[in-house]
């Protein structure tokens, strides 16, 4: 599935992060190309979510460099709000705005940030609802939705800003099993459309199917990375082997 290697979209160099004594990220370096789909796997507490949240500055690194789309976001002078407009994020707990309807959730950012006027934003929102197959939910309160529906709306909300990069932080972990498929389907379509995606997940089947590259985190370090075939079928790292033997037979 991997296309020709394009320019570097995300550049991470020697990033460290500690919470007190706890050194959660140790000297991480990673480059992600345009249109690439990177899936990050690893045990809980391995640092993969912290790493993902650093890419849009929800967490700040102690040191090191992070460049997204040519903007050095580890630099204090960078307007982080401007950079974030171009990075969509989907959360484990959806985080839909409880004080707005589905349509208003999707329209909020484009309208507030002056990207679209209200009419254009609503048109765009309805189109996005179609792509996540939830057109009939446009005017309902978000609290009436199921988890799977909420997560698809959350994806639509992130896409409304037409970002170049999408970050997914365990998007299916809080879902009932029968809801997972719908969300993964939407993500798969997105990957096929050429979106640059960085995904933290425990869905190994999905990783195998969609990822261009799989990165294995453990103890705050990238222990191994490669194509799905390399990582899942011929793991070299001992901890990766151990991790896979646990999750694949779970």
Partner 1 sequence: MKKTVKLLIVGLLSLLVFVITSSDVDAAPTPNYIITTDATYPPFDFQDKNNQYTGIDQEILKTIAKRQGFTYTLKPMSFNAATQSVSSGQADGVIAGMSITEERKAVFDFGTPYYRSGIGWAVKKGSNIKSLDDLKGQTVALKTGTSGADYALSVQKKYGFKVTYFNDSDTLYNDVINGNSQATFGDLPVIQYAVKNGTQLKVMNSKSPIQAGWYGFGVQKGKNTKLLTAFNRGFAEIKKDGTYDKIVAKYLGASATKFTGSKQDNSSVLGILKANNGAFLKGLWQTMLLTILAIILASIWGILLGVMGVSQNALFRGISTTIIYIFRGLPLMVLAFFIYIGLPGVIGMKIPAFTAGLLTLVLNEGAYTAAFVRGGFAAVDSGQMEASRSLGLSYAKSMRKVIVPQGLKIMIPSFINQFIITLKDTSILSAIGILELTQTGSLIVSRNSQGFRVWAIVAVIYLIVITLLTWLSNWVEKRTRA
Rounded Cα–Cα distance for residues 239 and 243 (Å): 6
Binding partner 1 (rule: CB under 8 A), the pick from 8, 108, 138, 140 is 108
What is the contact mask toward partner 1 in residues 164 to 203, using x (rule: CB under 8 A)? ----------------------------------------
Of residues 87 and 207, the one with the C-beta less far from partner 1: 87
Q: Where are the beta strands (DSSP E) in the chain?
A: 8-19, 22-33, 37-41, 63-68, 71-72, 87-90, 165-169, 196-200, 213-218, 221-226
What Cα–Cα distance (Å) separates residue 145 from each residue in 33, 118, 197? 35, 24, 25
- Tell me the two tokens of residue 127: 């189109």
Q: How far is the CB of 71 from partner 1 (least distance, A)?
A: 12
Q: At closest approach, how far in Å is the CB of 93 from partner 1?
A: 5
Q: Which of residues 54-83 bind partner 1 (CB under 8 A)?
A: 56, 58, 81-83
Give the SS3 label for residue 113.
coil
- The reply on whether position 96 binds partner 1 by CB under 8 A is yes
The 10 Å Cβ neighbour count of residue 245 is: 11
- Residue 25 Cα distances to 108, 192, 207, 222, angstroms: 34, 31, 23, 9
Which residue lies nearer to partner 1 by CB, 5 or 82? 82
Secondary structure, 3-state, 177-225: HHHHHHHHHHHHHHHHCCCEEEEECCCHHHHHHHCCEEEEEECCEEEEE
93 touching partner 1, by CB under 8 A: yes
Q: Quick one: which segment of 42-50, 87-95, 203-211, 230-238 binds partner 1 (CB under 8 A)?
A: 87-95
Q: How many chain residues bind partner 1 (CB under 8 A)?
A: 26
Stretch touching partner 1 by CB under 8 A, among 60-68, 104-112, 129-137, 235-243: 104-112
Q: Which of 49, 74, 91, 197 binds partner 1 (CB under 8 A)?
A: 91
Q: Of the listed pieces 19-27, 89-97, 171-179, 195-203, which binds partner 1 according to CB under 8 A?
A: 89-97
- What distance in Å separates the CA atoms of residue 175 and residue 171, rounded to the nearest whole number? 8
Contacts with partner 1 in 121-160 (CB under 8 A)? 154, 157-158
Residue ranges that bind partner 1, judged by CB under 8 A = 56, 58, 81-89, 91, 93, 95-99, 108-109, 112-113, 154, 157-158, 161
């Amino acid at each position: 599935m991997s296309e020709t290697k394009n320019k570097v979209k995300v550049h991470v160099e020697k990033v460290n992060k500690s919470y007190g004594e706890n050194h959660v990220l140790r000297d991480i370096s990673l480059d992600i190309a345009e249109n690439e789909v990177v899936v990050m796997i690893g045990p809980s507490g391995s640092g993969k979510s912290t790493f993902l949240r650093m890419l849009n500055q929800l967490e700040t690194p102690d040191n090191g460099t992070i460049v997204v789309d040519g903007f050095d976001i580890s630099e204090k002078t960078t307007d982080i709000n401007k950079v974030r407009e171009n990075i969509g994020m989907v959360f484990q707990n959806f985080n839909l705005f409880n004080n707005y309807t589905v349509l208003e959730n999707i329209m909020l950012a484009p309208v507030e940030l002056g990207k679209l006027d209200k009419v254009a934003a609503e048109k765009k929102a309805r189109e996005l609802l179609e792509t996540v197959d939830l057109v009939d939910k446009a005017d309902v309160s978000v609290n009436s939705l199921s988890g799977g529906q909420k997560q698809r709306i959350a994806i639509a909300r992130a896409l409304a800003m037409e970002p170049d990069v999408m970050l997914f932080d365990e998007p299916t972990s809080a879902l009932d099993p029968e809801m997972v498929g719908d969300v993964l389907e939407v993500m798969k379509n997105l990957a096929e459309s050429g979106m640059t995606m960085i995904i933290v997940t425990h869905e190994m089947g999905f990783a195998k199917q969609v990822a261009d590259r799989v990165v294995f985190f453990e103890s705050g370090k990238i222990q191994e990375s490669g194509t799905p075939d390399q990582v899942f079928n011929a793991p070299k790292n001992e901890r990766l082997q151990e991790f896979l033997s646990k999750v694949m037979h779970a």
